[in-house]
């Protein structure tokens, strides 16, 4: 990935990511009033920032309206006469509602195809990154220790759920938002902002506060890994793998 940041005034590179995180927090708490107040504030301040800073401001507004669309689409799914596992899969598929608005903003500012985010250059892995990957991929031992019976429907739905969940979350948080944040601010600020925002969103999957905090650190690691390797593939595989383990262990409930 060609991440580029031009050093400018210091305060926008910290203030704007904080406003973005505030919108993500309040919209995922379904506090629409404060979310719209913040969105209105961002729209009023757009004229005071240059194009580099505006990208995250517009992304914040687009994310707000995309998540509103996601919430209302889920209300429609809730009243449909389909099985609970199917509703849960549709819930993950509807993350497209979050992806589309920020993709439009991304195209408007960056003028690149999204596919380049995953395949624009070879994956770079050093020994430390490879060690972390090996350790994480050794986790299946935990599944064996759990002694949980694994049925074919659980396995099938679990694989599909985890693919949708990991692929769409990766495109949203590491594919688009991380890129925009890195252009607007420093890599460290972008990694932390992306990680915290990612952790906040995990509350929609049913995780409690302490688990969301853990996912903030995990999201920051995924963001670092994406920048370090120059590809979404490693973080996608790790997130997919971790999600699948959580499904098999029953931590993430998919209706079985």
Number of Cβ within a 10 Å radius of residue 29: 12
Q: What is the pLDDT of residues 155-208, one digit of tens each?
A: 788 889 999 999 999 999 998 999 888 888 888 999 999 999 998 887 666 556
User: How far apart, in whole angstroms, are the C-alpha atoms of residue 98 and residue 70?
Assistant: 7
Least confident segment among 146-150, 165-169, 196-200, 241-245: 146-150
User: What is the pLDDT confidence band of residue 147, given thresholds at 50, 70 and 90?
Assistant: low
User: What is the pLDDT confidence band of residue 251, given thresholds at 50, 70 and 90?
Assistant: confident
The more confidently predicted of residues 117 and 54 is 54
User: What is the pLDDT confidence band of residue 255, given thresholds at 50, 70 and 90?
Assistant: low
User: How far apart, in whole angstroms, are the C-alpha atoms of residue 77 and residue 134?
Assistant: 39
The H or E element containing residue 211 is helix 209-229
User: How far apart, in whole angstroms, are the C-alpha atoms of residue 158 and residue 88?
Assistant: 11
Contacts of 63 (CB under 8 A, 6+ apart): 20, 23, 24, 27, 98, 101, 102, 177
Has residue 60 got a pLDDT over 80? yes
Q: Give domain limits for the chain.
A: 10-249
The more confidently predicted of residues 220 and 253 is 220
């Amino acid at each position: 990935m060609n991440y580029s940041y031009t050093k400018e005034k210091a305060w926008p590179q910290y203030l704007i990511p904080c406003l973005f995180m505030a919108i993500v927090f309040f919209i995922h708490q379904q506090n629409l009033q404060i979310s719209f107040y913040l969105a209105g504030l961002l729209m009023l301040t757009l004229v005071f920032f240059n194009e580099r800073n505006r990208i995250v401001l517009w992304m914040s507004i687009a994310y707000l309206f995309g998540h509103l669309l996601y919430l209302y689409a889920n209300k429609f799914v809730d009243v449909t006469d389909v099985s609970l596992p199917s509703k849960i899969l549709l819930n993950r598929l509807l993350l497209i509602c979050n992806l589309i608005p920020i993709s439009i903003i991304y195209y408007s500012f960056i003028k690149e195809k999204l596919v380049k985010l995953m395949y624009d250059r070879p994956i770079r892995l050093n020994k430390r990154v490879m060690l972390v990957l090996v350790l994480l991929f050794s986790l299946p031992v935990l599944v064996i220790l759990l002694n949980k019976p694994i049925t074919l429907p659980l396995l099938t739905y679990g694989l599909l759920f985890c693919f949708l969940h990991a692929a769409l979350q990766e495109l949203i948080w590491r594919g688009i938002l991380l890129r925009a944040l890195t252009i607007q601010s420093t890599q460290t600020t972008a990694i932390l902002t992306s990680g915290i925002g990612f952790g906040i969103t995990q509350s929609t999957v049913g995780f409690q506060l302490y688990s969301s905090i853990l996912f903030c650190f995990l999201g920051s690691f995924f963001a670092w890994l994406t920048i370090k390797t120059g590809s979404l593939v490693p973080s996608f595989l790790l997130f997919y793998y971790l999600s699948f383990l959580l499904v098999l262990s029953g931590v993430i409930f998919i209706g079985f």
